[in-house]
């Protein structure tokens, strides 16, 4: 048998696949074949490496060489130089933006140095469609350990670990399991919430694509603890790759006797089914999710009764989020003492964040609780794109808030973020720079909420609509000071009276931006100006006569002929005709057009 000497790991996550990583894999295999290396070097399609900004990524094992933005055409050089001759292809290595030097391997990249990977421990290391690779990395060993304990002992370990729900609210997981275990019923259910709906969040998808087996194992552990024999994964239909990999993982687990009857020689039976979402943000709320799984409209209902008492088909059900489950096997393998030694006093372990927006290193990261926003944004995230100035970071998606420079040194945990007026949420983290208008951002989230409100309760259905209209009015330059008070009052009413979590948190983006960026609201209302130059109705394009060369390019391109002037004489824009399309601004070669 020929021993595999080298592995080429290629990211097969959604982001990298969109940049042709599939064709890259074919090309690498063809090159290896052509050079007679097919037996010695193995190409593995893995889950997300997290460094999505520079995808597709190829990582070489054992030397950890980290190639970025690899194109199918680069395969030949990688094989001929690196694989055959042991010479790294320097031009494909990651270049440190500050020192401008190429970094030889992933261990020396600042992006990875501050990270601690528990939930993402296997993402980017294993072939997610091969259960044996998971088993080699201690997969299903945790389940074996748990089956040798009593359910109460196992629940006690989860409780002591201090793990809290990673879906956003942060409810203690061990306590949730204990409540579900104590409710007596002929049938109970373990439900995995994989309805990741926050715009800009892709943590759960990456875990499911990169390490689906860990979720299967964790659900089986949960089933044993609470006395359930059936598991259901509620997953978005928009995640076809994650669905496929889960199906493969479940199928292989059944073959290996790791799902089904008498698992690992015990008398415990457990199996998992998939249920598909159909595009409704509110279904991330657990009661709505359960109704959707029953084939109904995904409308939430008042709690109590909690799902732990009466959930799916009226039976006790324990609902946990994907990332919460991903932590479970690690807790049993390494012990609750280890897990609870990471993080802050009340928030243990790590948190996965999807970094996106105006940041250099867009990607998926996992850091210990208590890491500061500054470390995440400026060290791991590599700072703001294009050398612009940091303005705000939005955490918690449509339920969260915008935090400012003043919060950059706040250690991230559940309680600190809530105290600062935002929330942990599921882990989306959108960075904004000086060009982003915070009133528009608040309007953007409200627009999302208005579209996604299920319409069952009036505060959310009507209140958010009114909020959206008021914000629109302000962005149009028609806002008044009374509108700001109106927004503030309405926000409080919606928070107090909405039926479910979606409605109760929906005013957060408005409240937090009004609190921290009040001057921007005032600029819109009083001065009728948008300081970031984002709000179309409030900006005007003006030609700076000192810079204008009279080249006539702007006048030729203006779609409404609002620009006039003779050749070689500074031009003028007729504000009454201008439709603010920005064409002149883009076309001018002399930077003479200014936005005011």
Partner 1 sequence: MSNIKLHDSQIRQIKDICASYGNKPGELINVLHTTQGVFGYLPEEVQREIAKNLNIPVAKVYGVVTFYSFFTMKPKGEHAISLCLGTACYVRGAEGVLDELKKQLGIEVGQVTPDGKFSLDCLRCVGACGLAPVVLIGDKVYGRLDPSKVKEILANYR
Q: Which residues here bind partner 1, judged by CB under 8 A? A: 14-15, 17-19, 52-53, 55, 197-202, 205-206, 237-239, 275-281, 292, 294-298, 313, 354, 356-358, 362-363, 394, 397, 428, 430, 432, 436, 441, 444-445, 448, 454
Q: How far is the CB of 316 from partner 1 (least distance, A)?
A: 18
Phi, psi of 7 (to 5 degrees): -115, 135
Shortest gap between Cβ of 35 and partner 1 (angstroms)? 31
Contacts 24+ apart (CB under 8 A), 577-583: 578/540, 578/541, 580/536, 580/537, 580/539, 580/540, 580/541, 582/541, 583/554, 583/557, 583/558, 583/559
Q: Which is nearer to partner 1, 308 or 393 (CB)?
A: 393
CB of 8 to partner 1, least distance (A): 21
Place of tokens 């040798």: 148
255 or 294: whose CB is closer to partner 1? 294
Distance CA 277, CA 292 (A): 7
The closest of 174, 161, 83 to 118, measured between CA atoms, is 161
Closest approach of Cβ 463 to partner 1, in Å? 20
- Asked if 579 and 560 count as a contact pair (C-beta separation under 8 A), the reply is yes
Integer Cα distance of 142 and 320 in angstroms: 18
H/E/C letters for each residue in 411-470?
ECCHHHHHHCCCCCCCCEEEEEECCCCHHHHHHHHHHHHHHHCCCCCHHHHHHHHHHHHH
Q: Residue 370 — left, alpha, or beta (φ > 0 → left; ψ -120 to 50 → alpha)? A: left
Q: How far is the CB of 459 from partner 1 (least distance, A)?
A: 19
> Residue 546, class by beta-carbon neighbours within 10 Å (0-12 exposed, 13-18 middle, 19+ buried)?
exposed
In the complex, what is the shortest distance from the CB of residue 596 to partner 1, in angstroms, rounded to a whole number? 20
Output 326 or 356, the one with its CB closest to partner 1: 356
In the bound complex, what is the minimum distance in angstroms from residue 356's beta carbon to partner 1? 4
Nearer to partner 1, 268 or 353 (CB): 353
Which residue(s) pair with 8 in the sheet? Answer: 43, 60
Task: Rank residues 328 and 441 by Cβ distance to partner 1 and give the closer one.
Answer: 441
Q: Cα separation of 84 and 35, whole Å?
A: 9
d(CA 463, CA 595) in angstroms, rounded, equals 34
CB 505 within 8 A of CB 548: no
What one-character-per-residue DSSP string does 468-506 give? HHHHHHHHTT---HHHHHHHHHHHHHHHHH-SSHHHHHT
> What does the chain come to in residues?
596
Shortest spacing between CB 508 and partner 1, in angstroms? 14
Taking the least distance from each CB to partner 1, the nearer of 59 and 205 is 205
**CB 362 → partner 1: shortest distance, Å?**
4
Beta carbon of residue 280, minimum distance to partner 1 (angstroms, whole number): 5
d(CA 273, CA 191): 10
What is the residue whose two structure tokens read 């009661």?
A: 287
- For the bound state, the minimum distance from the C-beta of residue 48 to partner 1, rounded and expressed in Å, comes to 10
Shortest distance in whole angstroms from residue 14 CB to partner 1: 5
- In the bound state with partner 1, the residue whose beta carbon lies nearer, of 32 and 52, is 52
For residues 123 and 362, which CB has a smaller minimum distance to partner 1 in the complex? 362
Nearer to partner 1, 263 or 289 (CB): 289
Nearer to partner 1, 158 or 326 (CB): 326
Alpha-carbon torsion (340, 153, 234, 446), positive or negative: negative
Using the minimum distance from each CB to partner 1, give the nearer residue, 224 or 239: 239
Task: Please identify, using beta-carbon distances, which residue of 239 and 268 lies nearer to partner 1.
Answer: 239
Task: Answer for the pair 250, 360: CB distance below 8 angstroms, yes or no.
Answer: no
């Amino acid at each position: 048998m020929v021993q595999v000497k080298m592995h080429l790991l290629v990211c097969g996550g959604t982001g990298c696949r969109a940049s042709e990583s599939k064709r890259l894999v074919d090309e690498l295999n063809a090159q290896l074949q052509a050079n007679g290396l097919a037996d010695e070097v193995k190409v593995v399609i893995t889950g997300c490496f997290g460094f999505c900004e520079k995808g597709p990524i190829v990582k070489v094992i054992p030397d950890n060489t980290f190639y970025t933005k690899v194109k199918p055409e680069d395969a030949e050089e990688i094989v001929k130089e690196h694989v055959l001759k042991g010479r790294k292809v320097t031009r494909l290595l990651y270049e440190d933006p500050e020192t401008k030097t190429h970094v030889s391997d992933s261990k020396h990249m600042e992006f990875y140095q501050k990270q601690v990977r528990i939930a993402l421990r296997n993402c980017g290391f294993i072939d997610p469609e091969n259960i044996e690779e998971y088993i080699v990395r201690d997969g299903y060993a945790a389940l074996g350990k748990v089956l040798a304990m009593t359910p109460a002992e196992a629940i006690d370990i989860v409780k002591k670990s201090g793990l809290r729900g990673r879906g956003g609210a942060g409810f203690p997981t061990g306590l949730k399991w204990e409540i579900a275990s104590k409710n007596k019923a002929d049938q109970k259910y373990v439900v995995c919430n994989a309805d990741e709906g926050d715009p800009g969040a892709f943590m759960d998808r990456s875990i499911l694509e990169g390490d689906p087996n860990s979720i299967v194992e964790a659900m089986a552990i949960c089933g044993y603890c609470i006395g359930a024999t059936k598991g259901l994964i509620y997953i978005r239909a928009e995640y076809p790759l994650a669905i496929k990999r889960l199906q493969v993982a479940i199928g292989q687990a059944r073959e290996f006797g790791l799902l089904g009857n008498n698992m690992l020689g015990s008398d415990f039976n457990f199996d998992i089914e998939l249920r598909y979402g159909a595009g409704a943000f509110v279904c991330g709320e657990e009661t709505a999710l359960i109704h959707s799984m029953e084939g109904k409209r995904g409308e939430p209902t008042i709690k109590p009764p909690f799902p732990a008492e009466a959930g799916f088909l009226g039976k006790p059900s324990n609902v946990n989020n994907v990332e919460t489950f991903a932590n479970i096997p690690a807790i049993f393998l390494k012990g609750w003492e280890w897990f609870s030694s990471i993080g802050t006093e009340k928030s243990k372990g790590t948190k996965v964040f999807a970094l996106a927006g105006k940041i250099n290193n867009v990607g998926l990261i996992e850091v210990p609780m208590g890491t500061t926003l500054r470390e995440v944004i400026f060290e791991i995230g590599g700072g703001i794109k294009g050398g612009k100035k940091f303005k705000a970071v939005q955490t918690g998606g449509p339920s969260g808030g915008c935090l400012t420079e003043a919060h950059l040194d706040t250690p991230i945990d559940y309680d600190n973020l809530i105290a600062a007026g935002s929330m942990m949420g599921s882990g989306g983290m959108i960075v904004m720079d000086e060009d982003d208008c915070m009133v528009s951002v608040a309007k953007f989230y409200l627009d999302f909420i208005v579209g996604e409100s299920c319409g069952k309760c009036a505060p959310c259905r009507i209140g958010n609509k009114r909020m959206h209209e008021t914000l629109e009015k302000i962005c149009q330059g028609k806002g008044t000071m009374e509108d700001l008070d109106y927004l503030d009052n309405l926000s409080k009413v919606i928070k107090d009276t909405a039926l479910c979590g979606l409605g109760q948190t929906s005013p957060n983006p408005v409240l937090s931006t009004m609190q921290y960026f009040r001057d921007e609201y005032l600029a819109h209302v009083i001065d009728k100006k948008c300081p970031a130059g984002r709000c179309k109705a409030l900006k005007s394009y003006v030609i700076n006569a000192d810079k204008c060369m009279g080249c006539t390019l702007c006048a030729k391109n203006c779609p409404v002929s609002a620009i006039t002037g003779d050749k070689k004489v500074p031009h003028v824009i007729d504000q009454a005709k201008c439709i603010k399309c920005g064409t002149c601004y883009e076309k001018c070669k002399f930077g003479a057009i200014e936005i005011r």
